């Protein structure tokens, strides 16, 4: 398969200026990298904190805001119900999903993880990532994540990230 990199570069948007304390998603690698973070990450839904950690893993990929994966031990498992949904990532492998059930509220496929990740991504084994656009609130160091407008990606944009990044309708081709 040949790639027309000139075509890709013509579709690629111009990176936003990087401000103090920001990272550009255009400096992230492809294939993605996994980085250990000490940031405080929380997930809230229906008035309940369902996850909290200071040991998140950040998946960093060109043109994507970071996705924060939370160690399973730091997720309130009593709120998760495994679903039959599964997807495949060309880098990380097969993802399993769970519904989030808090009280009378059920959110289908609110989170995912890699039970048996591909080589190079073993650190993600069973760490859980929530879709910010499917839960009430995701936070990084107290800042609310801005949910993506699209439904495919589960990235966690904050003010620390300079884009533009994938996630809105029409950005899939970048």
pLDDT computed for residue 5 by the predictor: 45
pLDDT computed for residue 80 by the predictor: 98
- Residues composing the chain: 174
Q: Which residues pair with 53 in a beta bridge?
A: 41
Can you give the chain as a three-state secondary structure string? CCCCHHHHHHHCCCCCCCCCCCEEHHHCCCCCEEEECCCCEEEEECCEEEEEECCCEEEECCCCCCEEEECHHHECHHHEEEEEEEEEECCCEEEEEEEEEECCEEEEEEEEEECCCCCCCHHHECCEEECCCCCCEEEECCEECCCCCCCCCCCCCCCCEECCCCCCCCCCCC
Structure token digits, residue 90: 């060309």
- Distance in angstroms (rounded) separating the CA atoms of residues 52 and 89: 25
The tens digit of pLDDT for each residue in 79-136 reads 999 999 999 999 999 999 999 999 999 999 999 999 999 999 999 998 999 999 999 9
pLDDT computed for residue 153 by the predictor: 93
Q: Is the pLDDT of residue 38 over 80?
A: yes
The tens digit of pLDDT for each residue in 83-95 reads 999 999 999 999 9
């Amino acid at each position: 398969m040949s790639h027309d990199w000139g075509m890709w570069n013509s579709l690629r948007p111009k990176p936003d200026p990087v401000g103090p304390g920001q990272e550009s998603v255009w400096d992230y690698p492809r294939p993605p990298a996994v980085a250990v973070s000490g940031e405080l990450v929380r997930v809230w839904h229906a008035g309940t904190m369902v996850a909290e950690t200071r040991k998140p893993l950040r998946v960093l990929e060109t043109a994507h805001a970071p996705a924060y994966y939370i160690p399973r031990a730091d997720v309130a498992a009593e709120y998760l119900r495994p679903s039959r949904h599964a997807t495949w990532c060309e880098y990380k492998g097969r993802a399993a999903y769970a519904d989030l059930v808090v009280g009378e509220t059920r959110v289908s496929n609110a989170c995912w993880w890699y039970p048996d990740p591909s080589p190079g991504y073993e650190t993600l084994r069973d760490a859980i990532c929530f879709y910010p656009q499917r839960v009430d609130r995701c936070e990084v160091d107290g800042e609310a994540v801005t949910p993506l407008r699209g439904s495919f990606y589960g990235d966690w944009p904050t003010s620390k990230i300079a884009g533009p990044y994938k996630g809105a309708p029409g950005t899939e081709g970048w």
